[in-house]
Amino acid sequence: MSSIWTNGGLSLSLFGESHGPAVGAVLDGLPPGREIDLNALNRLMLRRAPGRSTLSTPRTEADIPEILSGLYNGKTTGAPLALIIRNTDTRSGDYAEFTNKPRPSHADYTGAIRYRGVNDPRGGGHFSGRLTAPLTAAGGICLQILSQQGIEIASHLYAVGHVTDRPFGKEDDFQAIRHNLEELGLPVINPLVAAQMKQEIEGARRTQDSVGGIIECRVDGVPAGIGSPIFGGVENVLSSILFGIPAVKGVDFGIGFEGATLYGSQHNDPFTVENGRVKTKTNHAGGINGGITNGMPLVFRAVFRPTPSISSPQQTVNLTTMQEEMLEIKGRHDPCILPRASVVVEAAAAIAILSMLGEAL
Amino acid sequence: MSSIWTNGGLSLSLFGESHGPAVGAVLDGLPPGREIDLNALNRLMLRRAPGRSTLSTPRTEADIPEILSGLYNGKTTGAPLALIIRNTDTRSGDYAEFTNKPRPSHADYTGAIRYRGVNDPRGGGHFSGRLTAPLTAAGGICLQILSQQGIEIASHLYAVGHVTDRPFGKEDDFQAIRHNLEELGLPVINPLVAAQMKQEIEGARRTQDSVGGIIECRVDGVPAGIGSPIFGGVENVLSSILFGIPAVKGVDFGIGFEGATLYGSQHNDPFTVENGRVKTKTNHAGGINGGITNGMPLVFRAVFRPTPSISSPQQTVNLTTMQEEMLEIKGRHDPCILPRASVVVEAAAAIAILSMLGEAL
Amino acid sequence: MSSIWTNGGLSLSLFGESHGPAVGAVLDGLPPGREIDLNALNRLMLRRAPGRSTLSTPRTEADIPEILSGLYNGKTTGAPLALIIRNTDTRSGDYAEFTNKPRPSHADYTGAIRYRGVNDPRGGGHFSGRLTAPLTAAGGICLQILSQQGIEIASHLYAVGHVTDRPFGKEDDFQAIRHNLEELGLPVINPLVAAQMKQEIEGARRTQDSVGGIIECRVDGVPAGIGSPIFGGVENVLSSILFGIPAVKGVDFGIGFEGATLYGSQHNDPFTVENGRVKTKTNHAGGINGGITNGMPLVFRAVFRPTPSISSPQQTVNLTTMQEEMLEIKGRHDPCILPRASVVVEAAAAIAILSMLGEAL
Amino acid sequence: MSSIWTNGGLSLSLFGESHGPAVGAVLDGLPPGREIDLNALNRLMLRRAPGRSTLSTPRTEADIPEILSGLYNGKTTGAPLALIIRNTDTRSGDYAEFTNKPRPSHADYTGAIRYRGVNDPRGGGHFSGRLTAPLTAAGGICLQILSQQGIEIASHLYAVGHVTDRPFGKEDDFQAIRHNLEELGLPVINPLVAAQMKQEIEGARRTQDSVGGIIECRVDGVPAGIGSPIFGGVENVLSSILFGIPAVKGVDFGIGFEGATLYGSQHNDPFTVENGRVKTKTNHAGGINGGITNGMPLVFRAVFRPTPSISSPQQTVNLTTMQEEMLEIKGRHDPCILPRASVVVEAAAAIAILSMLGEAL
């Protein structure tokens, strides 16, 4: 039951394997009567789709979701919205040997133990990053619903390897990101870092290596009073879905880990009044106090480990002989997952936020 | 329903307010027939109890849980285990004004909006760190059950303000922590940092300030194959409960955020064979691949923001007049929550780990 | 995790054993700001309390719940409401032999297998009907909340053994039940059946036997549009909690099992207009179409098997010798549980209905 | 989130509308490594498929599920198993007027209110009995898994209108049902009632009416000790899924409602020893004591109201004019749903039973 996420009446069920017939999602609990623009959804999917540039894997997939239910006359009906995305460009031969010689830091080894050797190993099977395609499609629908009520979500590449963007901080950061994504091909705030990030990624690709990084995400327009104390906190809910994105190994909110060295007098966000509304002067808390939104933008970060699929030789263990052996992974892989992952983070956040608004059925 | 945490057949329900009659917990789904040593549980509670030293709040609570159900002849019965801890030393007068003049970075403001002004504000009510007392008691029971099957959990103060301990890395780290906790009063690996950390905390106290930090936790003895892909991953499950501890603003696994600058060739953990068993040479993944344990120790960190209750004057907003005002918080507060929080992290981790072992009813 | 019931953001956790320190409940997700009259709650508890007449077990318990959390200034706070009821009049000696010689149709045998012999057997332990005391207290709180918004619930003894009351059908049935309960001591619509029912129960008591029956319950004032199709239907939700009452072996809605012999043309409820509102001429569907309320009163029935605790000799098996043996149950038992169970049914229904109104947090 | 059913680590998500592109199901948590015979599954689907005889609707659907995930090399993988069934023979024109003039006892009226008029009304949309096709396919997979471990499920038409079969009672009842289904086209124990039942159904069809009935189901081979007290009881779990089948208005266990008139001395099932194993002489409890299986066959019944779609004129309300009007339903409808529903009951039961065996992931 590990592939179902549920909160506040909204649930997301993901299914599929990388090289099976299709991947898909069921979103159950969507509020009825919301208009969904399928063309806009398909455009959003392009941000995640592979094969768009040398920055990503050469595998190409149209990634156009087919909606099977829950939409009628262009609107959500309140019934479960199911969508599937057919797998087309699969070459399963690439993956045969990994069952016996697991790739380091992949799920080949752990998956085989968990599922007693019967899981579908082709392309990582159900562990594949390909599962983020239906996640993105489901989240894209939530993004549209949120946008209709004034909630906008954007993320940027906060860090790629050693290259760092500046953190969120200005009103027009969202425009900058959108502009840079279109013009420079990367979602960053500071346009000057785009070229350096590409260089970092290109360098990893050339050396048959990979590089990780950090995605920072902001959610504008969430009213104060959303979320709950203890286990129903915005942090709990968001992290429970964000760790569902393969390669995410850490999540923090507001100033997060960087706040460990601050004193309370520095970290606390003083209240102020702006245009007759309660605000805070700083936003070190990332818009969340006691698990509940305070009306400031939600800010959080997710760290992505470098993708473990690298072509340079690595040490593994032959599970039959129990001898150490060297392994060279061929296949088609992303040297850096972050350019494609930013839309996935936004999509996951949208599902989580929508689930907390109390409108799910 | 925000105060219920549930996974894999085990659920924890927390209840109570800081200044109400009692706080408590219900653990439902415990495996039957496990011996529980209540004296050991009470000793564990002392690590979290307030009033033990100048490092913590002067509020003193015996914090001895009363078990109401689920134990019979010293063993778990399989029925829900309920426990309560009476609140005794409460001075509610301290908190009256915060409803109108919310403390910065506290839940006074967000709680009032969420609960339309009717929540119990005394001592932070249900948002209080006091809720970690029943959490610790419940987790303490799980710690004993895990220990009986060879799973041990320990944590240390990875950082207090600018003072940092060395990370986990050696077999005997657990003994070092236990020894230093007993001898030096702080759970650290490197004994030399204990004095500096105390100084950092004492300094914060003297300046009517507070200081945050990072707790690193390790779980030894978890077999490979525990956890699930996507939303059932060990990271998802652990973070969903860890963010239930007030003040936690970030969680990462293995090398976590520090791994963002590594290349895949550096980050990957090569497989090796040790005493006929599959291991990894490094443990950057924190013992988790694809959401599933790989047999290496689980390692994760939680960042604690400095406690927002500081005595120095802070700016807030008078919600009646909507004017900015200065606020001085009196009350009794911890200058640093981390010394008391390490056992809470271990307790929360124990609940999460036990829930994933497939033994819950 | 079997003792937690959850729906639509509201959850109920029951704990305790018949002869342990206390039984109790945690209600998480109650809407905040609802006034609770504790005196009225205690009066309601009397309807379930044992020892009130010769119709029930001589065991006497004050059954006054102590509220531990979630109430402040007489109102719900939105935080979990926990309550406990101490067990006082327990005589555990009565139950010792049943572990080895299980009572027919009790949970002695199945509980021992399920919990590998370590469950608390005293008084039936966690299986005891005593758990309906905290269920009633929790439901009593929900009954008050519902009543404040115009939703009223009442039930009557539809059948006790061979004596049957007339089914719900008139507007003033609720008054009749209340009147008869007060005057005649039994919740019935037709006052003439009260004496016969008492005779039936008294006869069972005299012959060291027990007698079952049917409770019919009606909920007035639920607006149309509550509930959901498929697994979220009003029938699914109500039955999932009603079968939590020990001895309930069947639940049906509207005309239920009696409708099996009707044709569609007879069973269908034709729509009509009454005072400008849509109604149905008959209510064979019990107010539910497609799992969703249609604005008519909800009507359902629960059948209670005769309590298995009878004093006359019964055949059992000695689990040590695996020989058949005769068993005589001493103890204190109800010859008929139905007079005390009607308030339990109403309480359970109140929890279920409140959970479906979309107001739970 | 109403279309997700979950218990014990197994979850079933149903999606689709009667006249949309497809209906489908996701089963998450299946134990890995179980062989699935897709030909046998397709044969099972024929028992539910429409258009097979004059006893059912003339709508014909191949109803062959396409498996999208979770099967590899003919075995379950432990990953979610998703399947879809395309809708092919749809004539949506039949349903246009029902939005304004709701069919009595259908979900037209309640669905429109619940979903604010935007739900897909064609063919009943998500409320359609067509959703039992993916339910049957999902349950068919569970039936195969259960059968591999010695658990067999069968059901028969206990009653169709006024014609009643004899209840379960003999070892070879399952063979009788299978034989009569094949030879006489109806799953009954007593072959003599088949012709009368057909006559009853044929009579309803001729008079443009419909007829309901009762399905009794038995599960053999479930070991003692499955299920839990209070809300995790076998009765709770089974009823929560059975009420997901449209038209089911009541569920009872063992002797159920018929036991209301029995005394405890008659209803109790005395323990006995048979071939060295504990049994009960009678099985009035339907194999369940205290919510937990006692090793005897599980027996339960579900009452199906007559399908509300009848062609004879009925009174409804025009929701625009708020005037009473007469309605004639054309379309294609079953005069009696029970012959097709027996496999649906077995499928639903299989999902519930499998979820309680503790093998779900």
Contact assessment for residue A272 and residue A282, using Cβ atoms and an 8 Å cutoff: no
Contact assessment for residue A48 and residue A133, using Cβ atoms and an 8 Å cutoff: yes
pLDDT of residue B98: 85
A225 Cα distance to chain centroid: 25
pLDDT of residue B57: 63
Contact assessment for residue B321 and residue B292, using Cβ atoms and an 8 Å cutoff: no
**pLDDT over 70 at B37, yes or no:** yes
CA distance, residue C84 to nearest chain B CA (Å)? 9
CB atoms C9 and B1 under 8 Å: yes
pLDDT of residue C81: 98
CB atoms C308 and D126 under 8 Å: no
Rounded distance between C-alpha atoms, residue D230 and residue C246, angstroms: 7
Complex ipTM, two decimals? 0.96
Say whether residue A228 is in contact with chain C using an 8 A CB cutoff: yes
CA distance, residue D263 to nearest chain C CA (Å)? 5
Residue whose entry in the numeric block shows the structure tokens 């997979």: D141
Chains that touch B (3 or more CB pairs under 8 A): A, C, D
Q: Which of residues 61-100 of D touch C (CB under 8 A)?
A: none
Rounded distance between C-alpha atoms, residue D268 and residue D289, angstroms: 11
CB atoms D309 and C264 under 8 Å: yes
What are the two backbone dihedrals, phi and then psi, of residue D35, each rounded to the nearest 5 degrees?
A: -75, 135
Say whether residue C312 is in contact with chain D using an 8 A CB cutoff: yes
For chains B and D, count residue pairs whose Cβ atoms are closer than 8 Å: 7
Check residue C171 and report its DSSP letter. Answer: T
**Helical ranges in chain A per DSSP H:** 38-48, 108-114, 132-148, 173-184, 192-206, 234-242, 264-267, 338-356
CB atoms C228 and A9 under 8 Å: no
Say whether residue D9 is in contact with chain B using an 8 A CB cutoff: yes
Longest dimension (CA), chain B: 72
CB atoms B68 and C84 under 8 Å: yes
Q: Where are the beta strands (DSSP E) in D203-313?
A: 213-220, 248-253, 271-274, 277-280, 288-289, 292-293, 298-304
- The tens place of each residue's pLDDT in chain C, 361 residues long, gives 689 999 999 999 999 999 999 999 999 999 999 999 999 999 999 999 876 665 666 556 678 999 999 999 999 999 999 999 999 877 666 677 888 999 999 999 999 999 998 999 988 999 999 999 999 999 999 999 999 999 999 999 999 999 999 999 998 999 999 999 999 999 999 999 999 999 999 999 999 999 999 999 999 999 999 999 999 999 999 999 999 999 999 999 999 999 999 999 999 999 999 999 999 999 999 999 999 999 999 999 999 999 998 998 999 999 999 999 999 887 667 899 999 999 999 999 999 999 999 887 7
For chains A and D, count residue pairs whose Cβ atoms are closer than 8 Å: 177
CA distance, residue B104 to nearest chain A CA (Å)? 5
Say whether residue A240 is in contact with chain C using an 8 A CB cutoff: no
Rounded distance between C-alpha atoms, residue A199 and residue C103, angstroms: 77
Q: Which of residues 27-56 of C touch D (CB under 8 A)?
A: none
CB atoms B105 and A267 under 8 Å: yes
β-bridge mates for residue D274, sequence order = D277
Check residue D128 and report its DSSP letter. Answer: S
* Residue type, position D347, single letter: A
* Residue type, position C114, single letter: R
Contact assessment for residue D13 and residue D25, using Cβ atoms and an 8 Å cutoff: yes
CB atoms D228 and B9 under 8 Å: no
Task: Please report, to the nearest 10 degrees, the dihedral formed by the alpha carbons of residues C247, C251, C255, C257 taken in order.
Answer: -80
Q: Where are the beta strands (DSSP E) in chain C?
A: 4-7, 10-16, 22-28, 66-67, 71-72, 75-76, 81-86, 152-160, 163-164, 213-220, 248-253, 271-274, 277-280, 288-289, 292-293, 298-304, 314-318, 323-327
Sign, Cα dihedral of C227, C232, C235, C239: negative
Return the half-sphere exposure (C-beta side, CA atoms, 13 A cut-off) of residue B267.
Answer: 32
Contact assessment for residue D174 and residue D329, using Cβ atoms and an 8 Å cutoff: no
| Chain B hits for D79, Cβ within 8 Å | 229
Residue whose entry in the numeric block shows the structure tokens 């996935």: A344
Other beta carbons within 10 angstroms of residue D270's beta carbon come to 18
| Chain A hits for B248, Cβ within 8 Å | 235
- Choose the closest CB to A22 out of D3, D68, D77: D68
Is residue C275 left, alpha or beta, with left meaning phi > 0 and alpha meaning psi from -120 to 50? left
Interface test with B, best of C2, C11, C72, C76 (most B CBs within 10 A): C72
- Choose the closest CB to C315 out of D161, D272, D319: D272
Say whether residue B16 is in contact with chain C using an 8 A CB cutoff: yes
Tell me, letter by letter, the H, E, C secondary structure of A1-31: CCCEEEECCEEEEEEECCCCCEEEEEEECCC
- Which tops the pLDDT comparison, C299 or A62? C299
Rounded distance between C-alpha atoms, residue D140 and residue D39, angstroms: 11
How do beta strands C81-86 and C152-160 pair? Answer: unpaired
Kindly tell me the number of DSSP H helices and DSSP E strands found in chain C.
Answer: 8, 18
pTM above 0.95, yes or no: yes
Interface test with B, best of C14, C34, C99, C120 (most B CBs within 10 A): C120
Interface test with A, best of B271, B279, B327 (most A CBs within 10 A): B271
- What is the average per-residue pLDDT within A145-158? 98
Give the confidence band of A98 by pLDDT, cuts at 50, 70, 90. Answer: confident
Return the half-sphere exposure (C-beta side, CA atoms, 13 A cut-off) of residue A311.
Answer: 13
Rg (CA), chain B: 21
- What is the average per-residue pLDDT within A127-147? 97
| Chain A hits for D360, Cβ within 8 Å | 1
Separation in Å, CA D260 to CA C204, C303, C307, D284: 14, 6, 11, 11
pLDDT of residue C92: 66
Assigned token pair, B217: 């936790």
Check residue D30 and report its DSSP letter. Answer: P
- What is the average per-residue pLDDT within A59-72? 86
Contact assessment for residue B241 and residue B5, using Cβ atoms and an 8 Å cutoff: yes
Residue C233: which of D240, B198, D85 has the closest Cα?
Answer: D240
User: In order of start, what are the domains of chain A with their CATH numbers?
Assistant: 4-360 (3.60.150.10)
Interface test with B, best of D4, D30, D228, D292 (most B CBs within 10 A): D228
Interface test with A, best of B216, B234, B305 (most A CBs within 10 A): B305
Rounded distance between C-alpha atoms, residue B182 and residue B62, angstroms: 20
Mean residue pLDDT of chain B comes to 94
Contact assessment for residue D35 and residue D141, using Cβ atoms and an 8 Å cutoff: no
